[in-house]
Amino acid sequence: MTTMASTLWQPRSDCGPECLPGPEASPRVSRVRQVARFFALVGALVGGLALLPVLPLLNARGRRAAARAWARSILAALEVRLVTKGRLPTAKALLVANHISWLDIVAVLAVAPARMLAKHDVRAWPVIGWLAASAGTIFVDRGRPRALPGTVAEVASALRGGGVVAVFPEGTTWCGVMTGRFRPAMFQAALDAGAQVVPVAISYGKRPTTVAFLGDDSLWVSLRRVLAVPRLVVSVTATPALHPEAVATRKQLARVAEAAVRTEGPVYQRAMGLAA
């Protein structure tokens, strides 16, 4: 396994190919069905491209509805069933979630259209990178630590404007069995903007490692695994919002939000006096 890096913006998870289940433990759909899913996905992506010229003509509510419909069309193409719990905000909130797969982004957009914070590499992904940039994704370059204050300021500005921004504070993807610590940097944006923080738990039932984006995976390698998974379910659970006092620190917020995501409940939030 790889070792955890100590740097702030280049975290590495302890997860790698060895976290994947063996062939005997990974049932697969037929090749024909995999191909059908792939072409359905291409159709959904093309539909997203067709939406782009229309988005500027829509109001905020219309843009959120369009983004939600597009994300759900991707999940439908991949035959992924979406299960949601809790209430997600529509304005001035920082969504913080655990990170397992690139599918996490689609699942969040399917229930709570938001500006995403994504690693700079995503911008270079075929089609998806261009769509992400056009949708207002905020990109962070982990290879340039000096860019951190500017990124935090950009997120805070989006929150002050009443927007919803979704981030993955673990900084990288994990296999779903092992998890990373929530890093506190982006919680500062919520403090600066006076925005609520909503911890969101994402899970894939019995198949987290199969869909995980691990180690040196390319997008294509990961996609091929997802295309082959039968009866895939993604659950998105919103826990009660955190409304921090002025004296709350970003480290405290990160710790409480992480506990809420891990437990999918308000026990730790009440203990810290931060729950709504």
The mean of the pLDDT values for the chain is: 81
The pLDDT, as a whole number, for residue 208 is: 65
The pLDDT, as a whole number, for residue 43 is: 94
Give the residue with greater pLDDT, 180 vs 226: 226
The pLDDT, as a whole number, for residue 4 is: 38
Strands of the chain (E only): list them: 80-85, 93-97, 115-119, 138-140, 164-167, 196-203, 232-238
Decide: residue 242, CB within 10 A, 0-12 exposed, 13-18 middle, 19+ buried: buried
Lowest-pLDDT choice from 28-37, 139-148, 266-275: 266-275
The two tokens of residue 161 are: 């404007």
Which of 16-25, 165-174, 233-242 shows the highest mean pLDDT?
233-242
The pLDDT, as a whole number, for residue 16 is: 65
- Strands laid side by side in the 138-140 sheet: 80-85, 232-238, 196-203, 93-97, 164-167, 115-119, 138-140
Confidence at 209, pLDDT banded by 50, 70, 90: confident
Max Cα-Cα span within the chain: 57
The pLDDT, as a whole number, for residue 2 is: 38
- Average pLDDT of span 5-32: 66
- CB 111: neighbour CB atoms within 10 A? 20
The model's pLDDT over 122-149, given as tens digits with 9 standing for 90+, comes to: 777 766 676 677 667 888 876 677 777 8
The pLDDT, as a whole number, for residue 180 is: 80
Looking at the chain, the whole-number percentage of residues with pLDDT higher than 70 is 78
CA nearest to 27, candidates 234, 253, 229, 276: 229
The pLDDT, as a whole number, for residue 107 is: 92
Asked if 265 contacts 199 with a C-beta cutoff of 8 angstroms, the reply is no
Confidence at 267, pLDDT banded by 50, 70, 90: very low
